[in-house]
Amino acid sequence: MSYIQIANEKLEQLKDRDDIVILAIESSCDETACAIMKGKELLANVVASQIDIHRRFGGVVPEIASRNHTLAIENVVKEALAKAQMTLDDIQVIGVTYGAGLLGALLIGVSFAKSLAYSLQKPLIAVNHIKGHIAANYIACPDLKPPYICLIASGGHTAICKVQDLNEIEIIGCTVDDACGEAFDKVARCLGLPYPGGVEIEKLALSGNCNIEMPLPFKGEDHFNFSYSGLKTAVINYIHNKEQKGEQYNKADVAASFQSRAIGMLVDNTIRAALKYGYKTIVIAGGVGANKLLRAKMSEQGQKHNINVIYPPLNLCTDNAAMIASETRILIKSGAKCADIDLDGSANVRIFD
Among 319, 320, 330, 331, binds Zn ion (CB under 5 A): 319
Binding of ligand KG4 at residue 109 (CB under 6 A)?
no
Write down the H helix ranges in 42-196.
51-55, 62-84, 103-120, 129-135, 137-140, 180-190
Binding of ligand KG4 at residue 197 (CB under 6 A)?
yes
**Which CB sits closer to Zn ion, 27 or 154?**
154
**Which CB sits closer to ligand KG4, 154 or 301?**
154
CA distances (Å), origin 129, targets 58, 59, 207, 212: 24, 20, 34, 36
**Which CB sits closer to Zn ion, 50 or 154?**
154
User: Which segments within the chain are labelled E, that is strand?
Assistant: 21-26, 31-38, 41-49, 93-99, 124-128, 148-153, 158-165, 168-174, 281-285, 308-310
- Report strand pairing: 158-165 vs 168-174: antiparallel
Among 318, 326, 328, 346, binds ligand KG4 (CB under 6 A): 318
Which 111-150 positions form the footprint of ligand KG4 (CB under 6 A)? 133
Q: Is 113 exposed, middle or buried (0-12, 13-18, 19+ CB in 10 A)?
A: buried
Cis omega (within 30 of 0) for bond into 147? yes
What is the distance between the alpha carbons of residues 185 and 158, in angstroms, rounded to a whole number?
14
| Distance of closest approach, residue 109 Cβ to Zn ion, in angstroms | 13
Which 51-90 positions form the footprint of Zn ion (CB under 5 A)? none
How big is the site for ligand KG4, counted in residues (CB under 6 A)? 21
- Can you tell me whether residue 183 is helix, strand or coil? helix
Binding of ligand KG4 at residue 181 (CB under 6 A)?
yes
| Distance of closest approach, residue 97 Cβ to Zn ion, in angstroms | 9
Binding of ligand KG4 at residue 290 (CB under 6 A)?
yes
**Which CB sits closer to ligand KG4, 96 or 338?**
96
Binding of ligand KG4 at residue 286 (CB under 6 A)?
yes
Among 26, 178, 202, 327, binds ligand KG4 (CB under 6 A): 202
Binding of Zn ion at residue 154 (CB under 5 A)?
yes
Dihedral in degrees, nearest 10, Cα atoms 334, 37, 147, 228: -110
Binding of ligand KG4 at residue 199 (CB under 6 A)?
yes
CA distances (Å), origin 284, targets 7, 131, 235, 320: 34, 12, 26, 16
**Which CB sits closer to ligand KG4, 120 or 171?**
171
Among 155, 208, 302, 312, binds ligand KG4 (CB under 6 A): 155
> What residue 327 binds from ligand KG4, Zn ion, none (CB within 5 to 8 A, per partner kind)?
none
Binding of Zn ion at residue 200 (CB under 5 A)?
no
Binding of Zn ion at residue 326 (CB under 5 A)?
no
What is the distance between the alpha carbons of residues 184 and 196, in angstroms, rounded to a whole number?
9
CA distances (Å), origin 159, targets 149, 156, 173, 215, 332: 11, 10, 5, 20, 25
Q: Which stretch binds ligand KG4 (CB under 6 A): 169-177, 182-190, 214-222, 329-337?
A: 182-190
Contacts with Zn ion by CB under 5 A lie at 154, 319
